[in-house]
Chains A and B, each alone.
Chain A
Amino acid sequence: MTAAPATTTPGPFRTAGRALRSTVGGTLPVLVVLAVIVGIWYAAVAPMNIRLALDQAERSGATVVPETPIARQEVSVWRLMAQNPDLVPQSYAQDRPRLPTPGQVAGELWATTGEMALEGRAMSRRSLIFHAWVTLRSTFWGFLLGTTLGIAGAIAIVYSRVVNLSLMPWAIISQTIPIVALAPMIIVLSAQVGIEGRGVPKAIISAYLCYFPVLVGMVKGLRSPGTAQLDLLKTYSASSLQSFWKLRLPSSVPYLFASLKIGIAAALVGTIVGELPTGAIRGLGARILIGDQFGTPLAIWAALFAAAILAGVLVTLLDVAQRATLKRMGMGR
């Protein structure tokens, strides 16, 4: 789904700096851009929270320039900040901010993960490690199911003309259907069939999002051997099973890993989507939902970042597996 990052072909005069750039230049721009993003974020906190901060200050008896909240509604946030300069720092220390500072989010994240782990309560219900584990488990099952379906579907599509003609269009259409619309129904149905808990429906939703990139990637991969290679195997009088195991499957491995990386990210999105609208009480999506219902924005932000970290870790793990496998197979760069 996402395109592979394009490789720029450097002109001859550029190649000299390439070795340096690949080590230093690779991370420096990213760090600079990240720093700019964090800076903009910090700057945005004051205007986002100033009304909250002024309301709070007014309740605790401080003098605020337009005195009532209704009068303040008429004034822009920029004027409020200019008129109450000594109250601006308070927008950075709200308990329930409209926009928390990166520091607050990091603090909340640490308080619900590392700190609880140090106290030996990593699997407590208030710990994000516990919720991340619940999400990870469903993601894993969904990923397994989706990958199996995707690979099986790809093999069927490559080997059977009927399946290719009848299934491929529906596979594409299935991805244009917004799965969230189906999510509550999947949960109702699986409850009727007698499946307890939300693990299975969540895994089904995540498999639904995950199978497609694997299917498309594997169809491409299994068809990637050229005619010359297939003909060579024919001259060896190889059976179709042999040509599958010895040619088609090995040559599809790079495609497989590329689509697995997209697939695992999609599976995580699927699990969280499965947790969001369905009243789940465990999992990162459920933390977001509960944070919304109880009006604790910090919990939402912490859960969001935990999900992002989880996605990053999963994709990185697959990337490492990809490099190791391709190197063993002699296809590594």
Chain B
Amino acid sequence: MSWLAFALFFWAAAWATNAALANSPWRSTRPVRVIVPLLFGVTLLVLWEGLVRHFQVMPVILPPPSLVWDTLINSTETLWVDFQQTVLKGALTGYLIGTGAAFLTAILIDRSDFLTRGLLPIGNFVAALPIVGIAPILVSWFGFDWQSKAAVVVVMVFFPMLVNTVSGLRQTEPMQRDLMHTYAASYSQSLFKLRLPAAMPFIFNGLKIATTLALIGAIVAEYFGSPTRGMGFRINTGVGSLSIDLVWAEIAVAALAGTLFYGGVAWIERRVTFWHPSHRN
């Protein structure tokens, strides 16, 4: 059977199904909201597989998803070692230190109006800069192991988190602050009972942006020197030695890790800010 014909047929069928589902009366139910994007993703994979097989693309150029899956299953040990090195040690440590430090700094500078007005524009500017470029400097300062990767992540996540937390802490309205004042609330009472809860949507926005940056930072830093493990290291050497299927397996793991990391933070956000209009149904 022609792979191309099958792929195109699958595409058409999936699209028709999706169109029918999306215009059906159940369109806002949960199953449909899950099935439609899932089917879309599967379609992309089927198209990829079909096109690669039909045109007999060499696996060293673009391996089909089935081959990537095989590699993924057969080299779980390597992938797990790389995952530990890059995600758990490099990205996660840096993420916790960086966002934690930014959070504490934000609370400290928030006490001074002068500091806030001085740091906020600078923070906004720095958050837009290509900070990844600092990776080679930090690798030369902190050595090749995961500490330098964590340092890159700390620097990358610090400013977006700082800016978001500071903006969040300013979200309360004068009326609400006056109310706390009439209750004779102390600084810490009004911080914990009013301003931090009000800042939570902003804080989580920063935390979510930081998840993506953390993985980017940890992987880029490995291109500038790393021990013989880690996702960035494996991708770099894999491209050189033409083991492209392993590279795609690493990419799949990186994508999954990034999505789960983001999804995890988003899940916590829904638990914490259930009161916010954007989460009410």
Is chain B found bound to chain A in the same assembly?
A: yes
Which A residues are within 8 Å of any B CB, using their own CB?
1-6, 8-9, 11, 25-26, 29-34, 37, 98, 161-162, 164-170, 173, 175-182, 184-185, 188-189, 192, 262, 265, 268-269, 272-273, 276-277, 284-285, 288-289, 291-292, 297, 300-301, 303-304, 307-308, 311-312, 315
Bound-complex Cα distance A53 to B115 (A)? 35
Closest 10 CB pairs of A and B: A29-B118, A33-B118, A292-B136, A166-B40, A265-B128, A277-B223, A176-B258, A169-B37, A178-B215, A176-B262
A312 and B259 contacting across the interface, CB-CB below 8 Å = no
B212 close to A2 (CB less than 8 A): no
Given A162-B15, A177-B255, A272-B132, 20 extra CB contacts under 8 A: A5-B120, A8-B170, A26-B117, A33-B119, A98-B141, A164-B22, A166-B18, A166-B36, A167-B40, A173-B255, A175-B212, A176-B258, A180-B232, A181-B231, A265-B128, A265-B129, A272-B133, A277-B236, A297-B140, A300-B137
B37 touches A184 (CB 8 A): no
Residues A185 and B251 in contact in the complex (CB < 8 Å), given A2-B163, A2-B164, A165-B36? yes
Find chain A residues with CB under 8 A from B41 CB: 170
- Asked if A182 meets B239 with Cβ closer than 8 Å, knowing A9-B173, A276-B135, the reply is no
Determine the interface band of chain B, counting residues with CB < 8 A from chain A: 35 or more
A72 CA to B206 CA, complexed, in Å? 42
Q: Is the CB of B130 within 8 A of A307?
A: yes
- B22 contacts which of A26, A161, A276 (Cβ < 8 Å)? A161
CB pair B130 A268 closer than 8 Å: yes
* Other-chain contact of A3, B128, B164, B232, B263 (Cβ < 8 Å): B164
Q: What are 16 A-B residue pairs whose CB atoms fall within 8 Å in the complex?
A: A4-B167, A5-B124, A32-B118, A162-B15, A166-B37, A169-B37, A170-B37, A176-B258, A180-B220, A188-B61, A268-B130, A276-B132, A276-B223, A304-B134, A307-B133, A315-B128
Q: Let me know if A29 and B115 touch, CB within 8 A.
A: yes
A189: B residues at CB distance < 8 A: 61-62
Q: Which residue of B lies closest to A21 (CB)?
A: B117
Q: In whole angstroms, how far apart are the Cα atoms of A1 and B209 in the complex?
A: 7
- Shortest distance in angstroms between A97's beta carbon and chain B's nearest beta carbon? 11
From residue B252, how far is it (CB to closest CB) to chain A in Å?
A: 9
Q: Assess the B36–A3 pair: CB atoms within 8 A.
A: no
Contact A297 B170 (CB under 8 A): no
* Contact of B144 with A by CB under 8 A: no
CB neighbours (8 Å) of A165 from chain B are: 18, 21-22, 27, 32-33, 36-37
> Does B150 sit at the interface, judged by CB under 8 A?
no
Give the residues in chain A near B205, CB-CB below 8 Å.
3
Residues of A within 8 A of B173 (CB): 9
CA distance A224 to B63 in the complex (A): 43
Contacts of A277 in B (CB 8 A): 220, 223, 232, 236
B62 nearest in chain A by CB position: A189
Inter-chain contact B239/A178, CB cutoff 8 Å: no
Shortest Cβ distance from A10 into B: residue: B174
A189 to B27 CA separation, bound complex (whole angstroms): 38
- Complexed CA–CA distance, A313 and B100 (Å): 31
B4-12, B187-195, B242-250: which lies at the interface: B242-250
Q: Are B128 and A9 in contact (CB under 8 A)?
A: no
| B88 proximal to A (CB < 8 A) | no
Decide yes or no: A304 and B23 within 8 Å by CB, A33-B122, A176-B211 being known contacts: no
Q: Of all chain B residues, which has the CB nearest A169?
A: B37
Question: What residues of chain A lie closer than 8 Å to B125, measured between beta carbons?
Answer: 312
A265 to B125, CA, bound (A): 10
The answer, yes or no, to whether B171 is at the interface (CB within 8 Å) is yes
**A30 and B122 in contact (CB under 8 A), knowing A6-B171, A181-B251?**
yes
B160 within 8 A of A: yes
CB distance from A267 to the nearest CB of B (A): 10
Q: List residues of chain B with CB within 8 A of the CB of A276.
A: 132-133, 135, 220, 223
Q: Is B235 an interface residue (CB 8 A)?
A: yes
